[in-house]
Amino acid sequence: MARSRSFLFLTLLLASATGAAAEPVFVPAGEIRSGDLVALGREARVEGVLRGTIVTIGADVRIAGRVEKDVVALGGDVHLGPGSAVGGDVLALGGEVQASGPGPAPVGGRLLTVGALEAAFAAELKTSPLAVRPVRGLFLAFRLALLLAWLIVGLVLLRLAPRPLTGASALVPGRLTAVTAIGAAAVLSALLVSALLLLVLPATAGLFAVGLLVSALALAKAFGIAAVFVALGRSLTRTAARGSLLFGDPAALAVGLALLGGVSLVPVVGPLAWSIASLLGIGTALAAAVRPTSAAS
């Protein structure tokens, strides 16, 4: 069954770093286990009672007993068997929730799935949501709405922080490889830190900390990719006459976004281009943060 595996890369890193065995994390029938349970790249099965939250990354969750708090599967499915019960919420990010018992799913809280269209929000940090699958009208409209949101964010940043943004855009030409490498290193470091936080912190606190880290990366990308749009647009509109429609940084931002956004809609090539642009944006934001604007201008 095809599914979105947004956390596959993290799972591979964790498997290589920890050498974890492939055997599932298991709470057998008749056992009552306190605390939270985190499984990295391994399936989790609960046939007894877990008095806490269960989180899996890159693997499925199978419940045949009771989980008293939440069930979270990042990049996996949640299977609720006959006689199972979950006291809190059930979240499958990039997967599905399947209940094999009769009647409604035995979930005390909310039942949430984030896949297909919705998964593009989570995937937006690193890549374009379009791949080799056929482009559907609703999905294309969603992607265009995201590009419009990027335009609004860029214009707001130009309005509120024009000097930092234009100074950051000056870092892009001639430094593409170095700045992209900085962005890739930042994302890789964030993945490793996220894995560490989920290992050493309780599940709820770990997810909250990882959420803050992802939010910081998203903010860095928002600022940096706007600078990338400006830099790209400047290279295309440098001959525009003063007072013309294409003169100035707002026009450069729109032109750069239109070009890169158009490329992002192309299957295969688009996701790769948007991934590189995203890493370049994150790297640009980090490089600008440690370099005075006056030096970058």
Tens digits of per-residue pLDDT, 8-58? Answer: 444 444 444 444 445 678 888 889 998 888 888 789 999 999 998 888 888
Express each pLDDT in 216-227 by its tens digit. Answer: 888 898 899 999
One domain, residues 133 and 229: yes
Residue 217 lies in a domain: yes
Domain hosting residue 51, numbered range: 8-114
Half-sphere exposure of 245 (CA within 13 A, CB side): 2
Does the pTM of the predicted model rise above 0.75? no
Residue 249's pLDDT is what?
Answer: 87
One domain, residues 55 and 132: no
Q: Which long-range contacts (CB under 8 A, 24 or more apart) does 202-210 make?
A: 202/35, 202/36, 202/53, 203/36, 203/37, 203/38, 203/52, 203/53, 203/54, 203/55, 203/70, 203/72, 204/36, 204/53, 204/70, 206/38, 206/55, 207/55, 207/72
One domain, residues 128 and 97: no
One domain, residues 129 and 55: no
Residue 202 lies in a domain: yes
- The whole-angstrom separation of Cα 172 and Cα 234 is 11
Number of domains in the chain: 2
Q: Which residue has the tokens 């009208």?
A: 137
Q: Is the pLDDT of residue 294 over 70?
A: no
Which amino acid is located at 91 in the chain?
A: L
**Residue where a domain terminates, one of 84, 114, 144:** 114
One domain, residues 271 and 139: yes
One domain, residues 227 and 154: yes
**Residue where a domain terminates, one of 114, 144, 174:** 114
One domain, residues 136 and 243: yes
One domain, residues 182 and 75: no
**Residue where a domain terminates, one of 90, 114, 138:** 114
Q: Is the pLDDT of residue 244 over 70?
A: yes
Residue 1 lies in a domain: no
Q: Which helix (H) or strand (E) element contains residue 34?
A: strand 32-34
User: Is the torsion defined by CA of 167, 292, 185, 171 positive or negative?
Assistant: positive
One domain, residues 59 and 190: no
Beta bridge partners of 222: none
Q: Give the residue with greater pLDDT, 121 vs 222.
A: 222
Q: Which long-range contacts (CB under 8 A, 24 or more apart) does 163-166 make?
A: 163/293, 163/297, 164/223, 164/288, 164/293, 165/223, 165/226, 165/227, 165/230, 165/249, 166/227, 166/230, 166/249, 166/297
Helix (H, G, I), strand (E, B) or coil at 203: helix
Residue 157 lies in a domain: yes
Residue 2 lies in a domain: no
93 secondary structure, DSSP code: E
One domain, residues 239 and 170: yes
Q: How many CB atoms lie within 10 A of CB 243?
A: 7
Give residue 65's Cα distance to chain centre: 31
How far separated are the first and last CA of the chain, in Å rounded? 51
* Residue 253 near residue 231, CB atoms below 8 Å: no
One domain, residues 151 and 258: yes
Averaged pLDDT of the chain = 77
Which amino acid is located at 53 in the chain?
A: T
One domain, residues 201 and 82: no
Strand ranges of the sheet holding 54-57, from the earlier edge strand across to the other edge: 37-40, 54-57, 71-74, 90-93, 111-114
Residue 288 lies in a domain: yes
Q: Give the residue with greater pLDDT, 196 vs 102.
A: 196
